[in-house]
Structure 1
């Protein structure tokens, strides 16, 4: 048989089999249907007609010598022809005679079912030829090859030779394409590009900062991150890392870079004369196994590379290339390329040095954190694999990768070639929100736009979800201002992401992660937790009392050790929490915080009851924090912490330990804290008055106690070169402020030196201010402190320098803390405390009034306040509260509540009456009221002269309030203009002893006036004589 005849016959057989396969599918549909010859039957008939045409060509020449392979080819052609004739004959019987007749169609349907078995036999024969008789088909393929080889160029004329070469050339190139496509199809897998396609396109103008070097005044364009990326594109550097929080937009940026022409422009500078080949893969953990595995990475990159450069296939997959070439063209067999084979093929590609002479490669791999680790291949293995790629290529491969800020990735890739995405997208977010919400630019809409971006905290995903909700609400005619409350509503999509992250935590990490979440939430109400503080978690695991042990093993740690320890802690916590927590840098210090504001709300609503791996049973979070903070204090070198910072540490420990009832005898935690604080105290000089460990700051009340004694030492600290501020650090004073009375009482009994100086006594008194701390005053008095002991005034401006007694200070507290009302427990404690003061000799002859200050009034404290609450005692006026500064609301509240009581209290509230101590006692209605009144009367009888001090003798110092001028009480308006002689006479009539006291007081005043006049006269005479002499 001549070569042309054999080739033509073989081509006809192949075409016939191709139509035969189509006939199989169509025939099966007809047989399985219930209506017989359907619309597809006519389609089958047309296919069969074409088969008939091909079959007519399946005739081999009869008068030619044939070898065995040629005989097989002829037999196969004859068998195909016979089967086609049977199928066409069968279809003729099944076809309805009249296509428009329903009856004929019904008859055809019955025939179809009746002859179904006969049709099946014919179809099986065709399948046998297409699939079962693969040996014949393979021999056919070999026959074609041998025919090609046998058809020597010398066997034909020159014209025939030219035609034959063209025919064979076309056949070979077509087969090459078919073979290549089969291998590419075997490398591809379902969902290979699904993640890339699902990532949203970057919003208009978003990310333009990464390519534009000149942004005018916008500093983001000069950020080192974008500059580093632009430089990397055209350099020989191997990898570039895009890091960021969860939902910060990393995948969107990676898709933007893959498609952007500026990316190729920069890479072509690096490529030079070589051909640039790009490939990409986006990991996706919620997807299929291949979408989150190294096998999927290898296959996807190989597919992209070999699709661009199919000429590499024989070198990269040589075994598969031979296999696919040996397969019949019509057999659509899928090659099974596994993980190992894909890895070996990719390694073969990377190590093929001749490829890099004319080619260079850049891979974009997104979401390394979305890769699903296995026991053999974890994150560390993956980053080592990526590093080998660039090493093997010797400058022929670049990789741009993205991931969350997990330690394994931050350690593996250079920080100099990294972008931290959340630091660069604020302007993009503002533009996105404005455009999507169609912001008008007015003040109200801009406030909401800025609020959305601020609350987004670098998470573009959260911002886009909020904007999506806002846009949906706009359709329901909601105004922008109405939607502001939506910003505090948890987003279900984001919660699902958080749930996924928690579920991906390793079992061994979950309890530690739960503890860190609880610590962060607890510490939000006070002092933040630093990296050094968190570094002691392992120490706490070994010994829950490690910070109170002596000797302390981490005492006076050096700087290098601290840096290593802090870096180690940051990495460990990053690994424990999968990016849900981070250390936030506020410019002064770093502290543990949530990555996004939605996380604490999500954790509060999540039910951990069913998951024992997150169970913190038996662990008291406050106790852990106290030990960690104390450990940090004891690690710090002496005098290296400012008093203000030390005060925050100490107060946090005292307050938290008090909250969870940790402080029990022998008070090991607070005693160790006191010992540690002493190492940081500032010795000012030898004067005990200026030698406190700290001046005053209270953290849990509306008053700043630093003001209490500020004026007392203000003049002195001006002379200090570096006083570093003053604040309370002594645990005794902080415990008094926090209401930890058990420790203070025990300390007062065991260490009386706490009250060794009037300064320390005053400090403790100032700290004991709330109703729960009133019992401390009884202990202080019992230990011998006099009610007349002098301390600085509690409230008021620093312009007023007079000291006040312990008793007056306490009276100020009654007015400012307990007016107009007090709870039952506080009333009981206050009554007993007042009784204790009176039993220890306190003078009840004091009163209070509200005044409107006159300019230049020398009798009242120099303050800018218009309204002041004053205490009059011992012919002196002390200012307790004013309506200026941050405490003004307190005085207004007192005045408002007292006015509502009516009567004398209303007059007092508007500055028209003076309230004495007795009236104040009657107002509170103490349980021991009778005892207190008896003590007041007893004091007055014993000290008749003192009682006169309750008499109002400074009416001229007060100017009536505006409300007082229109008072509904005529007696009040009369009191504003009439002299007070009648009132004084009435008081004298009721108390004859008071008449004598008043007369004596008047004589004393006159004597003093004469004395001062005489002194001035003598001074003037001396001055005149001196001037005359000189």
Structure 2
């Protein structure tokens, strides 16, 4: 045998021996095993069965109900299940059946060896599939955790007590985790804590952003319509413009003005190139100029929203992230819409909303305060205009800010800016120039204005678009589209050419003229004569009669209205003006349905104040739709085209009120409001000729009263038989309280209270934490209901709408006095009196009404100390406060405890207000049960005050080495440790303005107390002991509380006599 053959035979023998050994080894393992399977296969089979069972669990019972986020997981689980089944099928095929002979084991080992390659491939596939499935599940778990934390964030944003509890739980979890948990679990807990910290940071971010956000920030932007189809498209897409006008080319060539039409098209192409080049390449400021009513705002909205704008700007921003924002100046609007501060606030809010991680460096003081007081999340900060201006200017010139960003901001209506003091148009353009220059080519602006000299001189022609010179095609297309219903198809062509030529680039003139033509044509609703030469001639004559000046067209429209329609128009314009001037935090909108009741209001101004629930405006779904149609017809016929109905899209701002009116943002009942057809309408009608006529027409018409009553009629009509949840009422009440200074609307406010009866937290025990409304979107917690007065869960909140409470909040003491004199029974329960007192004590009473008002408060028991109320301003569940016998707090005791609490822990006390109300109490003969002592230990100092049978203990929440803690202990350095001090001792430390008078009253009242308790026997007298403890015993049923209180007062007077 040659050497090569020998080597080959030897190799074959070795390979055969290796194969034989593996087969024999597998056979032996199979023979020895109880399951008739090798050890390796047993492990593999176990893994495959586990994966098969796990994958089966991930499959939904109904595959058609799989949501997109679960689709990948379901597909992967199906694949894992299929692979596992194939592996198990192979394992079953190589197992020994009933015969466990050596020969059977040998055959099984041989099969196992043959299937090894297939098993390895299947196992590799299963491993890859399982890894991907694990990745998908981890991602979904992370998303779900993030969603859950976001849900917590959204909940705590409306519930401070929940946030406090979460914060406490997190702190406890941190301490436990560090001490007791193993390494693996500790890592997971730390991950959860980091996520929780991120959520709590977002709560702080939201609080600051809400403090910056004007309630009407986007209202003007939302009022501006996007252009009609194919209008203004030449600015960003000239090809589409040429395509849409190709059919009119021959028509134009026959006309004398054909040259100018061609010239305008050329200007459009040049402007398109100019603007697109600026977007993608150039820097600085691009200026859109135009006449009044030429469509500048509409074009600016198109430019801002068009996808090509962002596409070209991203070329300019290159590797940096692009940020876009906008601001619309509006002269008839609020100060946040027409002032520099409004511009600053809006831009800072937009930037920080996009980049919330910048908040700590841009507003460090407010960030630190938000982090420290995370439980006070409902109260926005009052950020001054100076801080907003300084923060924005520092940000816009910060090189680090621009390191990874480029900004493009669109600002509409520079001429709508309302200056104040030394601020004028020149100030505005100087500021904008400064921003651009300081950004080192990282910020550019697109602005629009009328052709005022200051703007035309400052901005360069090569970066300007003069809109009114280039809109002939757009005007013609708009006219033709809106007259396309005419039977004579040649007539729209002829009219559109004439209207476009007469309009001189002013879209508003074109809009008003087209509407006038449509109204005239509708005299013949079937336009059966529209094709006749007589009818065509009359329409063309009407067009020739219409004035070409914008102010003249307004005059023409008004002169064609009947006296009644003109009066209604002026009334509606007045209501829109009042609506624009309403409080920014709570604007009152003139809804279309509310407007539909204007005729009823003119007949009877109190028509909506009927108290019977089955009377007054009331409607179901069908009648609602009919009224909407009626209102639209009414608006079209009575406004002459100067007003329009627009959809209001500010859902987030007043969502509760919307839902109360049955509106939804995505349903059939979309919110429709009245608005000007153009922002120049109020400006033109304010001119002398129109103003004098309007004044004569309106007479004694009260626009604020009208819009309030129409809004109430709107609510009553839309609510119908639905459950009454007065979410709209706080906004209406605030509007009336702030905009009206006389007694005109007292009955209106009283009606709101009547209609919302049952919405004040009372002895029903339905809440633990009552709050009052500042408006329909803002609420403030006013205190806590004591445990014996409620059966609700610990942190359940309850909204209290009460016009009396709101009047106190907004210092309308004239209404408070009127209400108590005319309907005091509405606040007869102890808890209502306590809530009333709590709000009152936070706001000093003006001197000109204080005497009468305090007399009425005394009459209803707000200064009495003879009954507990079930309400306190002390957060008795707080971790740094403990109150023993909290249910025994009276209004007087609570007043003292709360003022000590804020003075001791926060160094805050209104000396003037505290002394005023303290003297009022003492003048009514309240008995002083106030003792305080300070306990100092090696750990923390704490203070204890005794108020009869109520004990309040409090200590600082800050670390002992913090400056805040040092402020707390510094306040009480004058007090020796463990020494009892009286109220007089504390008052001397505060140094009140009327201290001598208060000390005299204290001594006099204490002598009365000493007289009643002069000897041991009198102290044992049951009546005296009963009076000495103001707390209503827990055994007394709640419904007997008022009777119990009355008995105390009677006994007190009897003994006093």
Q: Which has the higher contact order (CA 8 A, sep 6+)?
A: 2
TM range (shorter): 0.3 to 0.5
TM-score where L is the length of structure 2: 0.39
Larger Rg: 1
